[in-house]
Structure 1
């Protein structure tokens, strides 16, 4: 009876944390619906959400603010989970798709597609982003090579590719006379163009990514072990690592294609979740996703008031929050060594 009592005593705090996280996210969504450039009363907000009205304020909430808030939740969850998987796969607590150049590769491919083809659908954007992210990942892994120093070289190669891809992207935009303010906003990371079409397109990637993560969760635990130990247990670590990388590409690539390379969520959120509930992947994965959604929802809310009545890219807010934390983590890891 005693072990069961201990399990139950651990269960209730976790249930409280998850319930609180969901509640905080819902409050963030409500804040995004209520406040912004245009004033919306509580009654108008309630009427717009509960039934389809013909009032302009109702249409404004239903077609602009609501899909944007949902998009912030989904993209934040995807980026945070992709960051956690990147850190596990590379065995580097400072790793993320953004810092390692995967997001930058996706952004470069999307910009090249826009410059060459000018107009193509959102599925085309995601296709270009996935190819760019995959090519960046392959380039990084090939530069890192094999051996005991692989993970150190992986970090150096990732940072190098990040700066290279980012510079090429900026160069393409500067040389492109058709570049618009929306493209520049997108390059920093922006949700202000998000609509229901974007939600419908990214939703299958979100559901598929979460399902694949749940199915592969027992196997992903192998990535926490030393490679030699896992191989000694007869496990195919390279296959599991490959699946993890593909999942990172799907989650990060689809998010970058529609909202731009939003930085630091991938890095910041997994550490916060790990500090709250520990390293157990069964609990860490869902909590990381929830906290990612929370961070991006509130960052998008704050981005509306930095230069009010004009909007700022949400990537600026996440960078302001994430950059000091990255420095703190780097100093902490350096001190630990």
Structure 2
């Protein structure tokens, strides 16, 4: 007697899509919960009623103004910067084919920070747009220097990593030297240099939003081309694709996202390294899924890190970079050991 043929049910076919939907819903809820925590708790006591009234712009008490002018723009800035850094890290790993790559480790963030500090040392004060332009120039200069030192060839991935670490320490040392030699004009940026969002206000939100929106649009537009970077260069070139052009465009997008974030909040470390790995572990390597999930998780991570940084030396503020470095350094060591064992 022939066995009955099994037809997969509709629910079976939809289960991967259902899991992805559940994953995205959970990520949105985690981000929303972090935003609420950041708005509710801090140095000043705020009740839930005052929080709701402030968010709906009902009332004009001290607590309402505190939330609307301080906590809300600070939280939104952390969310935007976290998304930008996470996406920049994902694109850096994609362009270099190195899971340990990130704008922070490869010296791009250090180049942006050096250019901003150099501008402040020379001009004492920079306009917001001038700060962003200086960060772009520094990030682009750092990336170009690293790529030039790495050259081409089969060992390029290894040389990129080594060149990035060397340039990172070189630019960081030059930045520290500028601060020491120009203490009067640069002492106000020491807090920023560790990575901080506690001074963010609505102008920073309005400055960053176009870069995030524009970066996401460009990323989605170029997503089919960026998929080629997941292939071997020889295979992609054999298909008639211009791999060098695509990789250059990818790094240009990294400079756009990471440079604008560093200009506003300083070189916040390890967000761009950790978040893409978490997103890849949860959702796989499909770029159409990985890109939005990475942005959501990056925003959530920096919002929670900023929230925790308020209680390190409560009631005083601490830079958010302390929290991300405390989380990221052990994670980086774990990835390095794991990669070394896989290679052996």
Could you state the TM-score of these two structures normalised by the residue count of structure 2?
A: 0.96
Structure 1 position 176, deviation (Å)? 1.1
For the residues of structure 2 that align with 1:139 and 1:198, how far apart are their CA atoms? 29
1:222-275 alpha-carbon deviations (Å, 9 max, x no partner): 001110010001111111101100000000000000000000000001111111
For the residues of structure 2 that align with 1:143 and 1:43, how far apart are their CA atoms? 57
For the residues of structure 1 that align with 2:184 and 2:12, how far apart are their CA atoms? 63
1:68-127 alpha-carbon deviations (Å, 9 max, x no partner): 000111000000000010001001000000000000000000001111111221111100
For the residues of structure 2 that align with 1:294 and 1:85, how far apart are their CA atoms? 19
SS at match of 1:178: helix
Structure 1 position 52, deviation (Å)? 4.9
> Which residue does the alignment assign to 1:274?
280
> Which residue does the alignment assign to 1:111?
117
> Which residue does the alignment assign to 1:32?
38
Closer, same or farther in 2 for the Cα pair 1:6/1:181, shift >3 Å? Answer: farther
> Which residue does the alignment assign to 2:182?
176
Q: Is 1:22 aligned with 2:28?
A: yes
> Which residue does the alignment assign to 2:217?
211
Structure 1 position 54, deviation (Å)? 2.2
Is the 2:136–2:255 Cα contact (8 Å) retained in structure 1? yes
> Which residue does the alignment assign to 1:80?
86
1:12-57 alpha-carbon deviations (Å, 9 max, x no partner): 1110110110111011011111111111111111111111532111
For the residues of structure 2 that align with 1:198 and 1:209, how far apart are their CA atoms? 17
Please, which moves more after superposition, 84-93 or 51-60?
Answer: 51-60
Which structure 2 residues correspond to residues 281-320 of structure 1 after superposition, within 5 A? Answer: 281-320=287-326
Q: Is 1:144 aligned with 2:120?
A: no
> Which of residues 237, 240, 263 is equivalent to 2:269?
263
1:251-310 alpha-carbon deviations (Å, 9 max, x no partner): 000000000000000000111111111111110111111111110000000000000011
> Which residue does the alignment assign to 2:4?
none
For the residues of structure 2 that align with 1:77 and 1:268, how far apart are their CA atoms? 12
> Which of residues 38, 41, 65 is equivalent to 2:71?
65
Closer, same or farther in 2 for the Cα pair 1:6/1:282, shift >3 Å? Answer: farther
Is the 1:53–1:59 Cα contact (8 Å) retained in structure 2? no
For the residues of structure 2 that align with 1:49 and 1:4, how far apart are their CA atoms? 42
SS at match of 2:196: coil
Q: Is 1:323 aligned with 2:329?
A: yes
1:179-207 alpha-carbon deviations (Å, 9 max, x no partner): 46541110000001100000001110000
Is the 2:120–2:186 Cα contact (8 Å) retained in structure 1? no
Q: In terms of Rg, which structure is larger?
A: 2
- Give unmatched runs, 5+ long, in structure 2: 1-6
> Which of residues 188, 193, 196 is equivalent to 1:187?
193
- Give unmatched runs, 5+ long, in structure 1: none
Closer, same or farther in 2 for the Cα pair 1:16/1:30, shift >3 Å? Answer: same
> Which of residues 42, 48, 51 is equivalent to 1:42?
48
Is the 1:230–1:237 Cα contact (8 Å) retained in structure 2? yes
For the residues of structure 2 that align with 1:6 and 1:63, how far apart are their CA atoms? 49
Could you state the TM-score of these two structures normalised by the residue count of structure 1?
A: 0.98
SS at match of 2:39: helix
Is the 2:117–2:186 Cα contact (8 Å) retained in structure 1? no
Structure 1 position 178, deviation (Å)? 1.9
Is the 2:196–2:265 Cα contact (8 Å) retained in structure 1? yes
Q: Is 1:123 aligned with 2:129?
A: yes
Q: Aligned pair count?
A: 337
SS at match of 2:184: coil
Closer, same or farther in 2 for the Cα pair 1:63/1:152, shift >3 Å? Answer: same
Is the 1:112–1:172 Cα contact (8 Å) retained in structure 2? yes
